[in-house]
Chain A
């Protein structure tokens, strides 16, 4: 199986060329591509890869608002390791209770209610991890993040990831290509987007991307131009341009 996104795509492309050259038949090509497309992507072991980067990149003693903080692992880490003033917002009652039990300040609310009333620049960083694509009004939230926070940190699964593209091309069914593989009617990801979509938005709205990272076949690296094809997930540090 491919070790990098590039390996996988290269293998598929060379198989297509072999088919064109007549070295393999159509059935073999289809079987090969299907095999590659269906092999699950590699995910990093342990906690969220984004947490590691955020923990490294943000300075000690700052303030962080985490939108959709889940069970509070990131915020606990930031509190204990970096002396960060934290606040989480989360909708799921079980997750909220888990936060409270680990001592992470958390407010149970639906992010689709928006951040009205939160003062401008109230936090140094506002984090939106793996949540943007689940919101009813994602653009409103992106705008609100950059109003309430001096910096925004956004991560999402890249819908243009090559495996997702292949799965759609070959199976003709919406396989969102996310961790967990929800069916179309069960996925929380109601606004899937690609890295290109996000960068287009940033450009259009004069939002500056100060740092960007990609997860590709289980490896985290600085985002490269071709990662709209190779990255499973991406993470952006943004601020008002």
Chain B
């Protein structure tokens, strides 16, 4: 919660990865575009990514972190380019998973080379709707092709190819990042040793589809949206803020909101329609700050990718057990008891499918009242689960015999 005081590891802390700098690589060009799942071809594709920790000489210590809906490649540490690249929100805060990634932390950068890339269609340095379309010289806007989680994972694979990394020690992500982790285990079964899926299921629930629809409706009906061609003029501020406010409610839980905000007033109760309750103030703040850092078109594309993702449909003709048969990595799934965006019962379906095939699976339902956000908030327990799952153990039967 951004209004609470935070204690961060400062750049000079022995547990911080310190000052960071994003890198960008071109992974497809206009001449050699990349074919997307939806049928379109896209080029150029530039990808912004960050790395922490040293790559081992045998290049076998790489952990790929996949970010969630509004995330970016800046997982840990302090971005020294924040001001220069016009990302002032990074000045006061370290990367989004700083408690988990760093020297001596659960994703220990003394052992692992951690990498994270901004997803295709987002707005943090990777090609997306705000990028210039070389064929028109103007931002793509809604002419940007629809992208999928599968496309994201294939772009990440291209990035690893470009960096000379064949295998991943682990891929880990929460929420939409968890779906990328799952997709990695499905699409590249021979490139992933361990797969960690936090607060994510093989597809979004119907309720989740509904929430995303309302978010997009709100953006697309903002008078400033203008068919996505708002660049250079006023942006669909209210629509994007409302989408974010709604989404934020889905990241919390009823009991969590009650214990954090209750029915407390910010004002004396003005009997008007301004921001009066604490919870209104919180959501108002979340909406406003989001608009400063996220692109409305990107929000449409990324939520659409979230909607479309369906591992069972894509890999198993609708049968989840058939789909996960191809997985060869060790898998850990953690759900969070009060998460109603990716509810535990839905997360467990994936774990059960693997278990039914006799593949070793660790599935934990972490008790928490932090809702979907718990995967970011419950850093103690999540850290403990990550570090023990990533520990080197003699595991002779990591890969189950095909039944």
Contacts and interface: CB of A to CB of B under 8 A. Distances in A.
Contact of A80 (B358, B381, B391, B394): B394
A108 B403 contact: no
Contacts of B389: 100, 103
B324 interface: no
Chain B interface secondary structure, helix, strand, loop or mixed? mixed
Interface in B374-399: 381, 384-385, 388-389, 391, 393-397
B396 to A, nearest CB: 5
A108 B363 contact: yes
Contacts of B367: 93
A108 B394 contact: no
B11 interface: no
A117 interface: yes
Given A101-B388, A122-B358, A107 B351 contact: yes
Contacts of A107: 348, 351-352, 355, 361-363
Interface in A52-110: 63, 79-80, 83-87, 89, 93, 96-97, 99-109
B361 A117 contact: no
Contacts of A162: none
Contacts of B351: 107
B362 A117 contact: no
Nearest to B335: A108
A105 B364 contact: no
Contact of B364 (A83, A87, A93, A102): A93
B310 to A, nearest CB: 19
Contacts of A63: 358, 397
A97 B385 contact: yes
B396 A106 contact: no
A75 to B, nearest CB: 10
A89 B395 CA distance: 19
A87 B388 contact: no
Contacts of A84: 397
B352 A93 contact: no
Nearest to A96: B364
Given A85-B360, A86-B360, A109-B348, A100 B388 contact: yes
Given A97-B381, A101-B384, A109-B348, A83 B397 contact: yes
A118 interface: yes
Contacts of B348: 107-109
Categorize the interface residue count of chain A. 20 to 34
Given A87-B360, A117-B321, A117-B356, A103 B395 contact: yes
Given A117-B321, A118-B355, A105 B360 contact: yes
A117 B352 contact: yes
Contacts of B388: 100-103
A181 interface: no
Contacts of B395: 79, 103
Contacts of A80: 394
A161 interface: no
Contacts of A101: 384-385, 388
Contacts of B363: 96, 106-109
Contacts of B321: 117
Nearest to B321: A117
Given A93-B367, A117-B356, 7 more contacts: A80-B394, A89-B355, A101-B388, A103-B393, A106-B363, A107-B352, A119-B356
Instruction: State the 10 A-B residue pairs at the shortest beta-carbon distance, nearest first.
Output: A85-B397, A105-B360, A107-B363, A101-B388, A117-B356, A103-B393, A122-B358, A108-B365, A100-B362, A83-B396
20 contacts: A79-B395, A84-B397, A86-B360, A87-B355, A96-B364, A96-B365, A99-B362, A100-B332, A100-B385, A100-B389, A101-B388, A103-B389, A103-B391, A105-B360, A105-B361, A106-B362, A106-B363, A119-B358, A122-B358, A123-B358
